[in-house]
């Protein structure tokens, strides 16, 4: 039987898991614990209609508890439920996954054989109830499906095997140097990165033939969302006011909201161009937004490294290889 995504095996498995961790729960408390495992939210609980997800799940879990109690798999004393002694075997998902991987390390096996080996390993066959067998098989089936989707397992003609791990890709000299370059920037901190980025972009504009009329760092508590400004002019006299935002981050992506706020600050301060520079990467939503704005661009960690090499600002590439400018770092 299945109701709104909840199967009998899943309901039984979660009742067993709850009482295995916390025996002596009242009926309401047990149902509440199982509901939380099923992902029922506070928003779901607001819908009290008979056909609502909350009431459907609550009724189904209650029927499951009653069925397990009637079969003798659960005991109930003074309104408190517990697993009947020696009636059921509780298997944690992590232990089940480890057992599956251990089985498939030495040989390929069909699903039925995997279930039989797991029954022997955890002792579910030695209990008088079929409930724990079914719960273990349902858990193992979900784990097998997930490991196949993740690429850990391959299955052919119903037989599962471990996929060999691909050898690690050798790190090139450029990749190793870029990693060290970013580590140095992170170690120097946000204020240094603001100054470094503004100076780097100034060098870029000079290298590409523009005159720099103004170059300043504006970072601070009252920067208005702008960390730097560069005013440039080309040989024909066309003027550009370039606003710069920097984020010296190791992991967190630049979000669409952050790009939107920066572009708003560029417009508010009469900037003609906006450049958002980060030592990490941009979230896909942020990338889409940048692509839709003609006068605003993003520079991620890879583009930053390429720009530093092109301008030879802080790093250089020669016949001897990559090296740092120690006077700057």
- Single out the residue in 83, 118, 152 at which a domain terminates: 83
Q: Are residues 189 and 319 in the same domain?
A: yes
Predicted local distance difference test score (pLDDT) of residue 53: 85
CATH of residue 127: 1.10.10.10
Q: Are residues 156 and 288 in the same domain?
A: no
CATH of residue 273: 3.40.1350.10
| Residue 329 belongs to a domain | no
Q: How many C-beta atoms lie closer than 10 Å to residue 131's C-beta? A: 24
- Single out the residue in 58, 83, 108 at which a domain terminates: 83
**Tell me: the pLDDT tens digits for 87-105?**
677 788 899 999 999 999 9
* Of 268, 63, 125, 293, the residue nearest 276 (C-alpha): 293
Q: Are residues 123 and 227 in the same domain?
A: no
User: Residue 142 is part of which domain span?
Assistant: 93-162
Sole residue written with tokens 């054989």: 113
* Of 218, 152, 181, 201, the residue nearest 305 (C-alpha): 181
Q: Are residues 12 and 123 in the same domain?
A: no
| Residue 215 belongs to a domain | yes
Residues of the chain with pLDDT under 50: 1-2
| Residue 231 belongs to a domain | yes
Q: Are residues 250 and 276 in the same domain?
A: yes
Domain count within the chain = 3
Q: Are residues 156 and 264 in the same domain?
A: no
**Tell me: the pLDDT tens digits for 146-188?**
999 999 999 999 999 999 887 777 889 999 999 999 999 999 9
Q: Are residues 192 and 306 in the same domain?
A: yes
Q: Are residues 177 and 318 in the same domain?
A: yes
| Residue 298 belongs to a domain | yes
Tokens of 135: 């719960």
Q: Are residues 215 and 301 in the same domain?
A: yes
Q: Are residues 111 and 56 in the same domain?
A: no
Q: Are residues 106 and 148 in the same domain?
A: yes
- Single out the residue in 55, 83, 111 at which a domain terminates: 83
Q: Are residues 128 and 234 in the same domain?
A: no
């Amino acid at each position: 039987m299945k109701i709104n995504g909840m199967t009998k095996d899943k309901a039984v498995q979660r009742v067993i898991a709850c009482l295995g961790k916390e025996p002596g729960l009242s009926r309401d408390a047990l149902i509440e614990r199982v509901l939380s495992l099923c992902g029922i939210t506070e928003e779901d609980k607001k819908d009290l209609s008979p056909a609502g997800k909350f009431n459907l799940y609550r009724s189904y879990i209650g029927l499951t508890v009653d069925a397990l109690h009637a079969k003798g798999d659960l005991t109930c004393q003074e309104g408190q439920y517990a697993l009947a002694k020696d009636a059921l075997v509780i298997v944690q998902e992590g232990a089940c996954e480890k057992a599956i991987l251990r089985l498939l390390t030495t040989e390929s096996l069909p699903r039925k054989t995997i279930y039989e080996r797991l029954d022997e390993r955890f002792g579910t066959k030695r209990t008088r109830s079929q409930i724990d067998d079914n719960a273990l098989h349902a858990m193992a089936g979900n784990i097998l499906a997930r490991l196949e989707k993740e690429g850990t397992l391959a299955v052919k003609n119903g037989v599962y095997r471990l996929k060999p791990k691909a050898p690690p890709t050798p790190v090139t000299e450029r990749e190793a140097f870029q990693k060290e370059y970013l580590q140095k920037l992170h170690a120097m901190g946000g204020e240094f990165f603001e100054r470094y980025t503004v100076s780097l972009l100034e060098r870029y504009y000079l290298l590409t033939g523009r005159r720099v009329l103004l170059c300043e760092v504006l970072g601070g508590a009252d920067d208005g969302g702008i960390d730097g400004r560069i005013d440039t002019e080309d040989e024909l006299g066309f003027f550009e006011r370039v606003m710069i935002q920097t984020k010296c981050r190791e992991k967190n992506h630049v979000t669409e909201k952050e790009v939107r706020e920066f572009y708003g600050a560029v417009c508010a301060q009469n900037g003609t161009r906006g450049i958002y520079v980060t030592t990490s990467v941009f979230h896909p939503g942020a990338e889409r937004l940048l692509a839709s704005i003609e006068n605003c661009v993003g520079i991620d960690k890879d583009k930053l490294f390429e720009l530093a090499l092109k301008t030879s600002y802080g790093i250089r590439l020669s016949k001897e290889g990559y090296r740092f400018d120690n006077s700057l770092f």
